[in-house]
Structure 1
Amino acid sequence: MRHLSSIARPVTALALAAATGVGALALGTAAAGGAQAAPPLRNYVKTIRCDSANPFPAPRVPISVDVWNQVRFPSDGLPGPAIELIASSPRPRGLLPNTGIYTMSTTVNWHNVTTGKRGVVRVPTRAERITWQAVLHPGAGQVNFRITQRIGAMVFVPMVNPQVSTCRGSARA
């Protein structure tokens, strides 16, 4: 019995790593010799706040936007490296138990001040809480960006009582 559990643990760990994608590169590196750790898939830069008024009769929504750079495999499928902005908020508590569904239209205007390159990324989203993800492909250099969130309630039609908020940030690509 001891022999089976000693085999099951590594197999279970390998299956979990393969299913989640976590550690798959590290496992491959260890098998190749283990001398070097795999480079990270992305690098956390900072978190910025981009709070918004709530389109439902409820308090303001706190929104955190995590900024990642050196993203090797961006979620949009285009070649990296890239910068990813991932916004999230807790499930807002409204006057009613299940407040509803939000419709979001997020626009990110970015400017690579090193190269002069500019771009715009638009992200439509619909969810029970404020959440969205934008991928920027600015090339190497210092990148400034402005996030404009348009958040509305989904009440039979999208974007009822839209609320607009803007915030700014920067990262090195």
Structure 2
Amino acid sequence: MRSLTRTARSAIVLALAAVTVGGGVSAGQAAAAPELRNYVKTIRCSTADPFPGPRIATRVEVWNNVRFPSDGLPGPAIELVASSPRPQSLLPNMATYTMETTVTWRNVTTGKRGVVRVPTRARLVTWQAVLHPGHGRVNFTIKQKIGAMAFVPMVNPQYSTCRGSAPA
């Protein structure tokens, strides 16, 4: 084995270890990982900017069948992940937006209801909410309150509401 390069020796050792442990993968066989969540759709939820400028085009991605939700509670769940493409910053590396997001949801199949509140501060409009509605069709309403962070939070707050639904 002295004549082989270090890379070739490493490859041989890894191959032998895979065969010994029983984890060998034959040609054409893929080691596919199960999906940890399922993309449903994107909802557009624009809001007036508390700073002078055009409206903030916020996109809310809707995911269902989330096996490991970010809130640490057992899945499956629905996650709403919001983001805007343009940051605003008066001072670099400082939070310039304060957001208070409320998601009210109702499982129309079971009648179960809930409310999730998400306070956030960031250089761009971004937040994430996790819903635990059980199985069935879920309708939700997103209410955003977005203000400027100008030495105090929530200066010149702007409001928006948008709606969506997803299977749970």
Give the TM-score band, short-chain normalised: 0.7 to 0.9
Question: 1:161 maps to which residue?
Answer: 156
Question: 1:76 maps to which residue?
Answer: 71
How far the C-alpha of 1:156 sits from its partner, in A, is: 1.1
Q: Deviations over 1:114-150 (max 9, x none)?
A: 0000000000000000000000000000000000000
CA distance in 1, matches of 2:82, 2:23: 36
Mapped contact 1:115–1:141 kept (Cα < 8 A): yes
Equivalent of residue 42 in structure 2, options 39, 43, 47: 47
Question: 1:58 maps to which residue?
Answer: 53
How far the C-alpha of 1:55 sits from its partner, in A, is: 0.2
Structure 1 segment 21-170 matched on structure 2, within 5 A: 31=23, 37-92=32-87, 101-170=96-165
How far the C-alpha of 1:58 sits from its partner, in A, is: 1.2
Runs (5+) with no aligned partner, structure 1: 12-29
How far the C-alpha of 1:100 sits from its partner, in A, is: 6.3
Runs (5+) with no aligned partner, structure 2: 15-21
Identify if the C-alpha distance between structure 1 residues 153 and 31 changes in structure 2 by more than 3 Å, giving closer, same or farther.
Answer: farther
Identity of aligned residues (%): 69
TM-score (norm 2): 0.81
Q: How many residues in Structure 1 have an aligned counterpart in Structure 2?
A: 152
Name the SS of the counterpart of 2:154 in structure 1: strand
The structure whose residues are more often helix, as a share, is: 1
Select the structure of larger CA radius of gyration: 2
